[in-house]
Amino acid sequence: MLVTPEYNGGYPGVLKNALDHVFAEWVDKAVGFVSYGVNGGARAVAQLRGVCSTLGMADVGYQVTISVLTDFEHDATFVPGDRNTDALHKTLDQVIAWTTALAPLRATAETTLVNS
């Protein structure tokens, strides 16, 4: 799972740097997103989906979006609603399913590396 804010309509540069720095470790891995911002961080995730695909990751369809305008009490305390809880369960279910489905690809890649 990647957690990201929406920063100026996108995701932060430090996250891009982290993804690029260890790109080989992401191949054939599932990824889900938790994002936050004024619009729930949706624009950041839209951009990250393309980056993750390029890195060989399988991004799941569901995501958790947290609005800084409506999901916080007194602008300080996160108060998850049913929408957040449902989205988290669906996202995690998909990440687990895709992780299981991609396991043979990772095993094949590990065997290839050991035998090289």
Give the separation between CA 109 and CA 116, rounded to whole angstroms. 11
Residue 111 phi/psi, 5-degree rounding, is -65, -40
pLDDT for res 115: 61
Does position 114 have pLDDT exceeding 70, yes or no?
no
**Domain limits, the chain:** 2-115
49-71 pLDDT tens trace: 999 999 999 999 999 999 999 99
Residues 7-22 have pLDDT tens digits of 999 999 999 999 999 9
The CATH architecture that domain 2-115 belongs to is 3-Layer(aba) Sandwich (3.40)
112: which residues sit within 8 A by CB, 6+ positions away?
Answer: none
In percent, how much of the chain has pLDDT > 90?
Answer: 80
